A = this chain, B = another copy of it.
Amino acid sequence: MKLARISTVHGPAPAVLEGESWAVIRDMFDTELIKTGERIPLAQARLLAPTVPRIVLGMAHNSGPEDRKIPPQAFSKSSRTVVGPGSPIEIDTGLGAVNIEGELAIVFRNFARRLSPEEVPAAILGATIGNDVTAIDQIPLDEKMTQVKNGDGFTPLGPVIETDISWDNAPIDVAIDGVQAASGSTAGLAWTIAEQVSYLTKYLTFGPGDVLLTGSPQTAAPVMPGQNVSITIPQIGTLENPVVALSGSASQS
């Protein structure tokens, strides 16, 4: 099942995919979805970021088997970095090089604290595509990652949330201006998604709509203003965002 947040005349609305249109629903976190009756044809729908999270965490050093030698660790991105499909990633070239990272992003359905790995799937609504944009030249200056990870438009999410997905074996392809720049699979991550969530819920509570960017399995690529990034996870779709030079204006999700 595919869920989205769509721009409507009444404001952003959650919706479920039915054939060639989006059926607007009351709340994507309901156990049984309640349709409002409003339908929007696919071609007319403008998709927003599929969730407005209060927590956005990304996994550090989770890119391959070597990374299992130390405990999992996460960094925070602010909710304000979240943007939807088509929204710009704004980079300040004065702050050095920037990478995009194509990742599977987990969206929580329930409050989740102190979960065993076995309890994790029931707490999760589904997965979307996340782009964990990273100002890599700031890393040596800020191990806390605040100035590394929080630029405008630095967390594109979308286009949809897929509720039925093989999290631990999802291929990820990254293209810059239509040319393949990197590819990998969540099978290449150091820690499984259930292990990551179990670890993090020792320390904090995720809630409905919150997001975990699960790590970059060799799916990073450098970008510059003027380029377009597309990240494809076949079960979910393709997330596309332009890269622009920072204008000073604020991003909206």
Contacts and interface: CB of A to CB of B under 8 A. Distances in A.
A54 B80 contact: yes
B76 A204 contact: no
A19 interface: no
A81 B81 CA distance: 18
B204 A78 contact: yes
Contact of A205 (B54, B71, B73, B80): B80
Interface stretch (A147-155, A156-164, A183-191, A232-240): A147-155
A79 B54 contact: yes
A7 interface: no
A57 B146 contact: yes
Contact of A151 (B57, B151, B204, B206): B204
Given A55-B80, A75-B144, A150 B204 contact: yes
A-side interface size class: 35 or more
Contact of A80 (B74, B152, B207, B248): B207
Contacts of A250: 111, 113, 205, 207
A138 B207 contact: no
A76 to B, nearest CB: 4
A80 B57 CA distance: 12
Contacts of A60: 144
B73 A204 contact: no
A144 B77 CA distance: 11
A80 B113 CA distance: 13
A144 B144 contact: yes
Contacts of A206: 80
A191 to B, nearest CB: 15
Nearest to A145: B144
Given A152-B204, A204-B151, A248-B114, A146 B75 contact: yes
A21 interface: no
Interface in A186-221: 200, 202-207, 210
A228 interface: no
10 contacts: A71-B141, A73-B146, A75-B144, A75-B146, A76-B78, A80-B204, A80-B210, A143-B143, A147-B200, A150-B204
Given A73-B146, A78-B79, A113-B152, 4 more contacts: A75-B144, A80-B205, A92-B202, A111-B250
